[in-house]
Amino acid sequence: MPNPSEARFESYIENALVGHGFESRLYSEYDKINCQLPDDLIDFIKSTQPEKYEKLQVQFDFGTDKQLIKGCQ
């Protein structure tokens, strides 16, 4: 049996979760300060509340996503 290590344990957990339908993510995608995945947050809002997102786009233009993320802190 190979020597146990934290890296092997993390890999085992990640593989188990991926095997149950979860997505593997890079640590760089995660915003540690706000405890969120900003791209997923914006995609979720766009898909579940498209009319409200469009209204916000009119108000904030190119800064819409930034304002949404800031509002969810």
Residues 63, 67: Cα–Cα separation, whole Å: 6
Q: What is the pTM of this model?
A: 0.69
Residues 39, 69: Cα–Cα separation, whole Å: 9
pLDDT tier at 1, thresholds 50, 70, 90: low
Domain that holds residue 11: 6-71
In a domain, 37, yes or no: yes
Q: Which residues contact 23 (CB under 8 A, 6 or more apart)?
A: none
In a domain, 35, yes or no: yes
Token match 């190119």: residue?
Answer: 62
In a domain, 1, yes or no: no
Number of folded domains that form the chain: 1
In a domain, 43, yes or no: yes
| CA gyration radius, the chain | 17
Token match 């930034």: residue?
Answer: 66
In a domain, 48, yes or no: yes
Please report the pLDDT score of residue 72 as a whole number. 85
